[in-house]
Structure 1
Amino acid sequence: MDSIKSRGRHYISAILLVLVGVWFDQFTKTLAVDHLKGQEPFILLKNVFQFEYLENHGAAFGILQNKQIFFFIIVLIISVFIIWFYLHVPMTKKLLPLRICAVFIFSGAIGNFIDRLKLGYVVDFFYFKLIDFPVFNVADIYVTVGTFILAFLLLFYYKEEDLDRIFHS
C-alpha cells in the first residue's frame, strides 16, 4: 500500500512539474509576443546574445516548414512513448534522473505543441548571434537538455541491468 502511495506521489509530482514547465514556456512566449513582436531585437550582449521574435513554422533549424500534421503525429508518438517510459522506470533514487529527463522532454513537446495548435507556428525568441545559432525558446531548451542528459545517462552512466528493468518489465 505504501508503495502505491509513493508511486502516486511521484506521478502527481511529475504532472505538476510538467504543468509548471509548460506554464513557464507559455509565459515566456507571451512576453516575447507582447514585447518583441514587430520590434527590433532586444540586445543583451552586442553581437553575442539577443531576444528576437520569430514565428517558426517548421522544426529545429527551420526544417520541415508548414508540416503541421507531421508535427502533431510526432508529438503524439513522443508523448505516448514518454508516458510509457515514465510509468516503466522503477521508482528508485538511482533512476530518478531518467524520470526527470522524461518530464523535461514531455514539457517541451507539449509547450511547442500548444503553440502549433493555437497559432499554427512556434514562437521563438532566444538568439545567439555570435554563433548564428537558430532562434529558439524555453520548450526547445527543455527538449534539448532533457534529451542530451538522457542520452548521456543511457550511454555512459546506467548499466545494462539498470535498463533491463525498464524495457523488460
Structure 2
Amino acid sequence: MKKIYKKYFLITIFLLMIDIFSKYWILNNLDLYEIKKILSVLNLFHVHNYGVAFSILSNKTLWNRCFLSILSTIIVLLIFQKILKSKKRYKKLAYCFIISGAIGNLIDRIYYGFVIDFIDIHINNWHFATCNISDFSIFIGIIIYIKNKYKLI
C-alpha cells in the first residue's frame, strides 16, 4: 500500500474506532431513552435510529434494514473509489471522514438493525437531531470538502 494511502487508511480506522467504542460505551452505560446531562447545551441521550438522517425511512421492517444496508454499502464503495481516484489531499481527507462515518453507521445497521445515536445538542428547549460520532465525521468531511473546493474562509 502506498505510504500516502496508508495515512488516509489510518485516519479512517482511527475515526471508525472512536465511533465504535463510543457506541459500545453508550450501550453498556445508558439505558434506551436515558439522558445524562454533560453541559448546558449537551446531553447524552441513548436512542435507536431505524432510518437515515433525521429518521427518514425509519420503519422497523427487514426490507428497510436490507435496503438501507445495501444502499450504505454502495455509498461506501463509491467513496472508496473517490479516495483512490482523487489527486487532491483535501479531497482524500474529506472522503476519509465521510467513509468512516458511513462504515460506522453501516456496521450498526447490519449488526443491530438500527443506528445508535446519543449526542443531543440543544439550546434551552430547542434540540437538534440526536446523532453520533459517525454523523459528525460525515459532517466534518463535507465541511472540509466544501471549504477547500470553494475556497471558503
CA displacement at 1:134 relative to structure 2: 0.9
Aligned to 1:16: 10
Give unpaired runs (5+ residues) of structure 1: 1-6, 159-169
Alignment deviations for residues 8-53 of structure 1 (CA, whole Å, 9 cap, x no partner): 011122222222211110000011111112473111234x220010
Alignment deviations for residues 73-131 of structure 1 (CA, whole Å, 9 cap, x no partner): 322222222111111112xxxx2111100100000000000001110001000001323
Paired residue for 2:100, among 74, 87, 107?
Answer: 107
Contact 2:19 2:134 in 1 (8 A): yes
Residue type of the partner of 1:70? F
Alpha-carbon separation, structure 2, partners of 1:65 and 1:15 = 31
Contact 2:33 2:47 in 1 (8 A): no
Instruction: Percent identity, please.
Output: 29
CA displacement at 1:144 relative to structure 2: 1.2
Alpha-carbon separation, structure 1, partners of 2:15 and 2:56 = 25
* Number of corresponding residues: 146
Aligned to 2:72: 75
Stretches of 4+ aligned residues off by more than 4 angstroms: none
Alpha-carbon separation, structure 2, partners of 1:24 and 1:97 = 21
Residues 70-149 of structure 1 aligned to structure 2 (within 5 Å): 70-90=67-87, 95-130=88-123, 131-149=126-144
The verdict on how the C-alpha distance between 1:39 and 1:82 changes in structure 2, with shifts beyond 3 A counting, is closer
Residue type of the partner of 1:29? K
Q: Aligned pair 1:152/2:147, yes or no? A: yes
Aligned to 2:57: 64
Query: Aligned to 2:131, what secondary structure does the other structure show?
Result: coil
Q: TM-score, normalised by structure 2?
A: 0.86
Alpha-carbon separation, structure 1, partners of 2:34 and 2:77 = 40
Alpha-carbon separation, structure 2, partners of 1:140 and 1:146 = 10
Residue type of the partner of 1:148? I
Alpha-carbon separation, structure 2, partners of 1:39 and 1:78 = 30
Q: TM-score, normalised by structure 1?
A: 0.79
Aligned to 1:29: 23
Give unpaired runs (5+ residues) of structure 2: none
The structure where strand makes up a greater share of residues is 2
